[in-house]
Amino acid sequence: MAIANPLTYLAATVQELQRHWPDNRTVNVVCHGHSVPAGYFATPMVDTFNAYPHLLHRGLKARFPFAVVNVIVTAIGGENSHAGAERFAAEVLGHRPDVLTIDYGLNDRYIGLEAAEAAWRSMIERALAREAKVILLTPTLDISGLASEQSELWTRLNQHTERIRQWATEYEVGLVDSFALFAAYVAEQGALSDLLSWSNHPNRAGHELVARELLRWFPPFTG
C-alpha cells in the first residue's frame, strides 16, 4: 500500500472543475481541523484570507476559472480530533465534500495516540464511505522543536506525524506532509520563525507552503 498518486487521485474532481456552464456543478472542498486551518495567527487574531484554505481557494480559481468551487472551513481553534469526530456527521459530511482535508496533529499531542487514532480512523472511514476524496495533513511545526528536540511535546509531535503518514498509506488517500515542508525549510534556509506568526500558528509564508502542496493534488486533467 502507498499514499494516493497526486497526479491521478483527484482526476474525477478535476474533471468537474474543468467543466463549463451549463455542464458544471458545484464542487465542495472541506477543510476540517484545529486553529491552523481555522486561520488563527497571533491569538486571538484570525487572519482568514492568509490561511491555507483561502489560499487554496484562490489557487483553485486561478487554475480552474470556469469552476464553481466552495472551500468550506469547519475547523475550530483549540479543538482535537476526538471533538472533531464527534461533530463530523453533522458539520462536515453535511456539506457533501468532494474533497476533505483533516489537520489535527498539533492539538492531538494532548489526547494521546490511541484516542487520536480512533478519531482519525472514524473520520477517514466515514468520508470514504461517502465517496469523498481525503487528504490528510501532518502538523505544521511549532516552537516545541526549538529549545530541544528531545522535549516531550516535540517527541509527541513526531509520533503523531508518523501515525498520520501511516494512515495515508494504509487508506491510500492523499497526504500533505506539512511537518516535512517546514523541516525542509528550516534545514535549507534557516529560521523557523520565518514561518510562524505565534508559538504554534503559521504566518502567511507558512500557510503558503501548505497551500502550494495542496494545489499539487489538483493538476489539470489532460486525458
**Whole-angstrom Cα distance, residue 129 to residue 93?**
11
Query: Is 27 part of a structural domain of the chain?
Result: yes
Could you tell me if residue 88 is inside a domain? yes
CA 50 and chain centroid, separation: 15
**For the whole model, what pTM was predicted?**
0.97
Q: Is residue 201 part of a domain?
A: yes
pLDDT of residue 144: 82
Three-state DSSP at 174 gives strand
Query: What is the signed CA dihedral for 94, 120, 201, 112, rounded to 10 degrees?
Result: 140
In a domain, 131, yes or no: yes
Q: Which three cell numbers stand for residue 45?
A: 487574531
Helix 152-171 × helix 113-129 angle, to 10°:
30
Provide the residue range defining the domain that includes 204: 11-215
Handedness of CA 26, 88, 137, 124 (dihedral sign): negative
Q: Is residue 37 part of a domain?
A: yes
Position 182 in a domain:
yes
Residue 3 inside a domain? The answer is no
Please state, in angstroms and as integers, the Cα–Cα distance from residue 62 to each residue in 18, 48, 66, 68, following that order: 12, 19, 9, 12
pLDDT of residue 9: 98
Cα 95 to Cα 1: distance, rounded to the nearest angstrom: 29
Is residue 4 assigned to a domain? no
Number of domain units in the chain:
1
Provide the pLDDT for residue 147. Answer: 57
CATH of the domain at 157: 3.40.50.1110
Mean pLDDT by 10 residues, the chain (223 residues): 96 97 98 98 97 98 98 98 98 98 98 98 98 98 73 93 98 98 92 95 98 97 67
How confident is the model at residue 190, as a pLDDT? 82
